Amino acid sequence: MERQIYLENKAWQEGLALMMEKLAERCVPKNEVVDVRSSLHRITGTIIRAHRSSPHFAASAMDGYAIRAKDTFGISEREPRWLELGVQAIQVDTGDPVPEGMDAVVMLEEVLELGERGILLQAPVVPWNHVRPVGEDIVEGEVLLPIHHRIRPQDQGALLAAGVLEVEVRRKPRVGILPTGDEIRPPEASLQVGDIVDSNSTVLASLVEEWGGYATIWPITPDQPERLEDAILKMAESQDILVIIAGSSQGRDDYTSHMIEKHGTLYLHGVAIKPGKPVALGEIHGKPTFGIPGYPVSTYLTAHLFLEPWVYQLQGLSKGVQTTLDAVVSKKVFSSLGSEEFVRVKVGKVGDRWVAAPLNRGAGVTMSLVRADGMLRVPRLQEGFHEGETVPVELLRPVSELEETLVCIGSHDLTLDVLSSHMKARGGQGGIASAHVGSLAGILSLRKREAHFAGIHLLDPDTGEYNLSYLQRFLPGREIALMNLVYRTQVLIVPKGNPLDLKTLEDLAQPGIRFVNRQGGSGTRVLFDYLLQKQGLSKEQILGYEREEFTHLAVAVAVASGSADVGLGIQSAAEALGLDYVLVGEERYDLAIPREYLEEPRIKTMIAVIQSKEFQEDVLALGGYDVRETGVFYG
């Protein structure tokens, strides 16, 4: 066999890019289904949604007594009241279902006396006190994990809590490793002069496993062309990636590059690195094939440079791991003295600084661990962090993923989840990290340069126009591009069958109708106030006007669990929970993007996705959306 007597000298990046260009389209990730209990570290191959809500029943959040809140109205320290045990008060422990007919829980510590007459209370209790409503943590149908997410222990917990027993994950790329050389011996052999122990195979196999692949080490094969050929072709039948150790340079027994040429294509032999120069890059039967130099350090380095990206490629990922970084805190963090507190945060890179946005959810909420990108540690003797302070963040996701993530702060809309998944599906890990704080707070975070864009739907009551006047008022002098994401239908969300027959806004002012509101500064709240004013109604006429939730889904959950009779929100939230709804009107939901970010590749990808037919079809499937101006810029 003729030997190759020259090596090329290209930059390694060029070699890798060449190989990706030739092969990436033919080498796409495959999926398989696995039990959630054995899914640790696997990469999700689709979006994964909740099969059921959690809690799936109204649950007591404390040890105490389940009661009816109305039995306690009028109680005071001067006029304590006995509630009869078994009738008006039923003992419950944390996590127990709240018995039928009861709507609140009093903690044991708040019971003044326990006696034959029952329990003695000295303060009234509000409805839903210490009760975790259905779906407080997870709502049926909501996205639990995006595509291309590496499953962690906390994710397994959330999946099982949400009734998901099996997940579709990326099949582990199968990597065949072929040690070659007449002098190579298995590790347990006793060595003669000239013998070398096969250490490289194990190093490579372990690296492959670390990167999420499944490695198989072939028997050591001597430097004989027929035997090498035989082994390589066998590997090509069952493996996704082929690695041939040694024989890569120009010695008398170096056959690797010829084998690749004979049975496939040799893209490149030799790159300008040291060590690792004689690496061979090619394909055999469409499988990425590497001739890896035999010196152990060369093996290790070339595996990192060339093999690692391919093991990731076959899982749909790009690479990298880092565990902490310094980030600017986007809002003040309060913490009590005396215990070390872990605050879960969303992390993103805006401009050239990292920003950490604290998530404001309680400790029973498993999804806050799933959604978090990292944790801030507030030391025992510190009362928290100031807004704008730079602090270390312990990362729960790879930094490469965070680098590609766009930070969206503002109003909540279900299409943001769909948008994020579509972006991830286009390759790479970067999606959207969205913090739901309402439209106005979103605009303010653009002012503080803490977000790449804000989702807003703010009606100007004076002009009937959306969004523009607010940007002029709150971001004077800043160049902001305003692009439509969707038009969406705002509805009165009511229980299935609309038992109270609520049809108009006036119906909400009837006595005893319990409304659930959105927080001040949210677009839905602005709309509600506007509609009330137009109908000549006052907020005092609305029972529950003061009860605020932060998302459309939380409003829908309040209605689904029976803790409210009606709320104002988007149609898709009602549909997600199988509730009924009454049309109120249509509103425009836009993305406000500072012009300085428009040229960022991530933003460009996002805009391309928004303007794509596939994305718009998925949005329409949610119900309650119109895409007639989706992707259109105003001005």
Ligand X SMILES: Nc1nc2c(c(=O)[nH]1)N[C@H]1C(S)=C(S)[C@@H](COP(=O)(O)OP(=O)(O)OC[C@H]3O[C@@H](n4cnc5c(N)ncnc54)[C@H](O)[C@@H]3O)O[C@H]1N2
Instruction: Please give the residue ranges that form the binding site for ligand X (CB under 6 A).
Output: 179, 181, 183-184, 196, 198-201, 245-251, 254, 275, 277-278, 293-296, 298
260 vs 14: CA distance, rounded Å: 19
Residue of 298, 420, 439, 489 that binds ligand MOO (CB under 6 A): 298
- Comparing every residue's Cβ against ligand X, the nearest one is 294
- Stretch of 136-144, 214-222, 293-301, 402-410 lying at the interface with ligand MOO (CB under 6 A): 293-301
Site for ligand MOO (CB under 6 A): how many residues? 8
Question: CA nearest 133: which of 580, 416, 542, 547?
Answer: 547
**Closer of 60 and 248 to ligand X (Cβ):** 248
348 vs 327: CA distance, rounded Å: 9
Residue 305 exposed, middle or buried by CB count within 10 Å (0-12, 13-18, 19+): middle
By DSSP bridging, strand 454-456 and strand 480-494 are unpaired
CB 312, CB 173: distance < 8 Å: no
Residue of 1, 35, 100, 274 that binds ligand MOO (CB under 6 A): 274
Angle of CA points 239, 240, 243, to nearest 5° = 75
User: Residue 251 binds which entry of ligand X, ligand MOO, none, with Cβ cut-offs from 5 to 8 Å by kind?
Assistant: ligand X
By CB under 6 A, tell whether 474 contacts ligand MOO: no
Beta strand spans in 396-479 (E): 406-410, 432-436, 454-456
By CB under 6 A, tell whether 277 contacts ligand MOO: yes
Q: Give the type of residue at 65.
A: Y
In degrees and rounded to multiples of 5, residue 504 shows phi and psi of: -130, 170
Cβ-proximal residues to 105 (8 Å cutoff; 6+ apart), any chain = 60, 61, 62, 64, 65, 66, 67, 92, 98, 129, 130, 131
By CB under 6 A, tell whether 275 contacts ligand MOO: yes
CB of 301 vs ligand X, minimal distance in Å: 10
Please report how many Cα atoms fall inside a 13 Å half-sphere around the Cα of residue 508, on the Cβ side: 30
User: Residue 181 binds which entry of ligand X, ligand MOO, none, with Cβ cut-offs from 5 to 8 Å by kind?
Assistant: ligand X
User: Residue 630 binds which entry of ligand X, ligand MOO, none, with Cβ cut-offs from 5 to 8 Å by kind?
Assistant: none
- Stretch of 43-51, 85-93, 290-298, 326-334 lying at the interface with ligand MOO (CB under 6 A): 290-298
User: Residue 246 binds which entry of ligand X, ligand MOO, none, with Cβ cut-offs from 5 to 8 Å by kind?
Assistant: ligand X
Q: Is the peptide bond before 186 cis (omega within 30 degrees of 0)?
A: no
By CB under 6 A, tell whether 296 contacts ligand MOO: no
Q: Is the peptide bond before 153 cis (omega within 30 degrees of 0)?
A: no
By CB under 6 A, tell whether 594 contacts ligand MOO: no
CB of 184 vs ligand X, minimal distance in Å: 5
User: Residue 184 binds which entry of ligand MOO, ligand X, none, with Cβ cut-offs from 5 to 8 Å by kind?
Assistant: ligand X
- Stretch of 61-69, 210-218, 269-277, 317-325 lying at the interface with ligand MOO (CB under 6 A): 269-277
CB of 450 vs ligand MOO, minimal distance in Å: 46
CB of 335 vs ligand X, minimal distance in Å: 53
**Closer of 282 and 293 to ligand MOO (Cβ):** 293
**Closer of 8 and 465 to ligand X (Cβ):** 8
CB 58, CB 98: distance < 8 Å: yes
CB of 302 vs ligand X, minimal distance in Å: 9
**Closer of 146 and 276 to ligand MOO (Cβ):** 276
By CB under 6 A, tell whether 495 contacts ligand MOO: no
User: Residue 250 binds which entry of ligand MOO, ligand X, none, with Cβ cut-offs from 5 to 8 Å by kind?
Assistant: ligand X
**Closer of 107 and 203 to ligand X (Cβ):** 203
Q: Measured over all CA atoms, what is the biggest interatomic distance in the chain, rounded to whole angstroms?
A: 104
Question: By 3-state DSSP, what share of the chain in percent is helix, strand and coil, each rounded to 5?
Answer: 30, 30, 45
Question: In which element (H, E) is residue 402 found?
Answer: helix 399-403
By CB under 6 A, tell whether 276 contacts ligand MOO: yes
Residue 211 is given by DSSP the state T
CB of 221 vs ligand X, minimal distance in Å: 11
By CB under 6 A, tell whether 613 contacts ligand MOO: no
Question: CA nearest 436: which of 325, 549, 593?
Answer: 549
301 vs 306: CA distance, rounded Å: 9
**Closer of 59 and 245 to ligand MOO (Cβ):** 245
CB of 336 vs ligand MOO, minimal distance in Å: 57
CB of 176 vs ligand X, minimal distance in Å: 14
By CB under 6 A, tell whether 295 contacts ligand MOO: yes
How far is the CA of 157 from the CAs of 163, 212, 365, 366, in angstroms? 10, 21, 11, 8
**Closer of 49 and 185 to ligand X (Cβ):** 185
Neighbouring CB atoms inside 10 A of 548's CB total 15
User: Residue 248 binds which entry of ligand MOO, ligand X, none, with Cβ cut-offs from 5 to 8 Å by kind?
Assistant: ligand X
Categorise residue 438: left if φ over 0, alpha if ψ from -120 to 50, beta otherwise. left
Residues within the interface to ligand MOO (CB under 6 A): 274-278, 293, 295, 298
